[in-house]
A and B are shown apart, each in its own frame.
Chain A
Amino acid sequence: TQLLEQSPQFLSIQEGENLTVYCNSSSVFSSLQWYRQEPGEGPVLLVTVVTGGEVKKLKRLTFQFGDARKDSSLHITAAQPGDTGLYLCAGASNQGGKLIFGQGTELSVKP
């Protein structure tokens, strides 16, 4: 059974701080996606990473896919209250199939 362990589960920080969320597995994934979800809404795609070692940047967000394609990280620089939400990582094990999700990181950024 493939699992994705996401940490931390909860994170409460002050505006302007930096943070990193981790997503780890013992399984290899063909790609890994990061989503952000607000209460009562569906997950919104932030990024897809495909190549081992790949780094992608989206404004203040930096995503990295591990060399072995088993883990990933999301780093947010100078967090803002608008970054508050549930961050989910999801791995795809085979082309076109299901996503395996981590349990999510609930981020709260206080002004």
Chain B
Amino acid sequence: DTGVSQNPRHKITKRGQNVTFRCDPISEHNRLYWYRQTLGQGPEFLTYFQNEAQLEKSRLLSDRFSAERPKGSFSTLEIQRTEQGDSAMYLCASGASGNTDTQYFGPGTRLTVL
């Protein structure tokens, strides 16, 4: 399967713990996006990379959140000192520059903070 992959698929953690999620984009895509989706809502943009450069961050991305894409391939999203309000589905998408902004999504990581 050459689609976008995300790991883990599910994560349950206690409040105050740190968590890290990984996204592997479609191999020929140079753009990678992170979104967050809560129940009953559409996804909300968090941040995006073109190659290894982080080009845009949403104000939703508090200082407890950090994302990296060190070699322009896979990306990680870390949440420090998790709060119950961080419980959500975290979605990764990738796309190719020069395309019509089309983004392809991974299966998501479901985070539950107890």
| A interface, CB within 8 angstroms of B | 4, 6, 30-31, 33, 35, 40-45, 48, 50, 88, 90, 92, 95-104
CA distance A60 to B50 in the complex (A): 36
Query: Does B42 lie at the interface of the complex (its beta carbon under 8 Å from any beta carbon of A)?
Result: yes
Given contacts A88-B42, A101-B42, A102-B42, contact A48 B91 (CB under 8 A): no
| Chain A residues, Cβ within 8 Å of B50 | 96
The count of chain B contact residues (Cβ–Cβ below 8 Å) is 30
Contact string, B71-104, partner A, CB cutoff 8 A, digits 1/0?
0000000000000000000010101010011111
The 3 A-B pairs at the shortest CB distance, nearest first, are namely A101-B42, A92-B101, A98-B45
| B interface, CB within 8 angstroms of A | 4, 6, 31, 33, 35, 40-45, 48, 50, 55-56, 58, 91, 93, 95, 97, 100-108, 110
User: Which residue from A4, A40, A97 sits with its C-beta under 8 Å from B110?
Assistant: A40
User: Which residue from A6, A41, A50, A101 sits with its C-beta under 8 Å from B107?
Assistant: A41
B44 touches A101 (CB 8 A): yes
